[in-house]
């Protein structure tokens, strides 16, 4: 711990497990006070219990797709810590697999509601306070779904691609207020978001077809969390940018190695 985030308050959505949890742990290790949220109260309570060992943490049950729920979470954060310096829009879901003509429209819309509208809701609720404070940093999560759109996961890809545009637009809207807005791709991390996919036949089929890509893009969760720390430490003049925990250069190198291995394998 080097205390790089001492005196900072971070609100991290969807941090009861997975990448959000790792980011919360890394921020606490750097001295931040942290609010985490998730919908399931039991897993949220477990996460808070574990994270409290590392520092000051508040858990609020919240569904980011519901603006009222988000406003309550922000109010509770302000009541507890008095400010919000960092907003990490990490909460996300992926569970809709299938072709657009066959997919359940409500499930499709729910992915957009959580990933895209959920991020909007949190920004909408937090930005006025950041303006009053004289600045802040917003960090959004994308994925390779935004960079390399693939079939059968249109809602996920569309939501993440939209978040890239949202990030760039928002960055320009609030640059003069000292609020930076950036986005990053954590690489493929085998969290519930990925493993849940294999619990449905369509999802399992999808995973088996992109298995090679998952291997290519895989990265440890600590690398994603380290990038989130680095982004929280950057000056607010860096805004509207897109970052990758597993760099595109590294991806290309891995892809080349993969191609060579396949060629050898075929011989």
Of 62-70, 71-79, 98-106, 197-205, the segment contacting ligand NAP by CB under 6 A is 62-70
Q: Which of residues 108-147 bind ligand NAP (CB under 6 A)?
A: 114, 118, 141, 143
Cα–Cα dist 214/204, whole Å: 13
Cα–Cα dist 47/44, whole Å: 5
Residue 65, CA distances (Å) to 29, 113, 120, 228, 240 in order: 29, 5, 9, 23, 23
Q: Is the CB of 8 or the CB of 16 nearer to ligand NAP?
A: 16
Whose tokens are 């190695």? That residue is: 257
Identified binder of ligand NAP from the candidate list 98, 136, 157, 186, rule CB under 6 A: 186
* Interaction of residue 189 with ligand NAP, rule CB under 6 A: yes
CA 82 to the chain's CA centroid: 24
Residues in the chain: 267
Identified binder of ligand NAP from the candidate list 179, 188, 197, 216, rule CB under 6 A: 188
Cα–Cα dist 141/150, whole Å: 18
* Interaction of residue 211 with ligand NAP, rule CB under 6 A: no
CB of 185 to ligand NAP, least distance (A): 6
Identified binder of ligand NAP from the candidate list 48, 57, 60, 64, rule CB under 6 A: 64
Cα–Cα dist 78/11, whole Å: 10
Write down the catalytic residue from 152, 156, 174, 258.
156
Q: Which of residues 31-60 bind ligand NAP (CB under 6 A)?
A: 37-40, 43
* Interaction of residue 30 with ligand NAP, rule CB under 6 A: no
| Active-site annotation holds for 156 | yes
Residues touching ligand NAP, count (CB under 6 A): 33
Quick check: 39 and 15 in contact, CB under 8 A?
no
> Nearest-CA neighbor of 152 among 119, 225, 195, 201?
201
Alpha-carbon dihedral sign for residues 40, 184, 23, 150: positive
* Beta pairing class for 86-89 and 136-141: parallel
Cα–Cα dist 97/104, whole Å: 9
Identified binder of ligand NAP from the candidate list 62, 111, 138, 228, rule CB under 6 A: 62
Q: Which of residues 65-84 bind ligand NAP (CB under 6 A)?
A: 65
Q: Which of residues 87-106 bind ligand NAP (CB under 6 A)?
A: 90-93
Interface with ligand NAP (CB under 6 A): 13-20, 37-40, 43, 62-65, 90-93, 114, 118, 141, 143, 185-186, 188-189, 191-194
Q: Which residues are catalytic?
A: 156
């Amino acid at each position: 711990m080097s205390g790089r985030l001492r005196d900072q308050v971070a609100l991290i959505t969807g941090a009861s497990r997975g990448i959000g949890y790792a980011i919360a742990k890394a921020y606490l290790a750097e001295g931040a006070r942290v609010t985490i949220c998730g919908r399931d109260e039991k897993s949220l309570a477990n996460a808070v219990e574990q994270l409290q060992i590392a520092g000051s943490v508040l858990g609020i049950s919240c569904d980011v797709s519901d603006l009222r729920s988000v406003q309550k979470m922000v109010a509770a954060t302000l009541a507890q810590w008095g400010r919000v310096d960092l907003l990490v829009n990490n909460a996300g879901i992926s569970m809709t697999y299938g072709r657009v003509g066959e997919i359940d429209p409500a499930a499709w819309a729910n992915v957009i509601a959580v990933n895209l509208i959920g991020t909007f809701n949190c920004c909408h609720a937090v930005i006025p306070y950041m303006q009053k404070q004289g600045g802040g940093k917003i960090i959004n999560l994308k994925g390779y779904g935004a960079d390399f759109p693939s079939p059968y996961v249109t809602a996920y890809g569309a939501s993440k691609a939209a978040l890239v545009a949202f990030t760039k637009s928002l960055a320009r809207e609030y640059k003069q207020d000292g609020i930076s807005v950036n986005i990053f791709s954590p690489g493929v991390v085998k969290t519930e978001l990925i493993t849940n996919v294999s619990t449905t036949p369509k999802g399992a089929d999808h995973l088996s077809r992109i298995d090679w890509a998952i291997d290519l893009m895989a990265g440890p969760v600590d690398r994603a969390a380290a990038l989130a720390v680095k982004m929280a430490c950057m000056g607010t003049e860096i805004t509207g940018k897109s970052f990758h925990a597993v760099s595109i250069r590294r991806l290309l190198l891995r892809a080349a190695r993969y191609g060579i291995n396949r060629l050898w394998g075929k011989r």
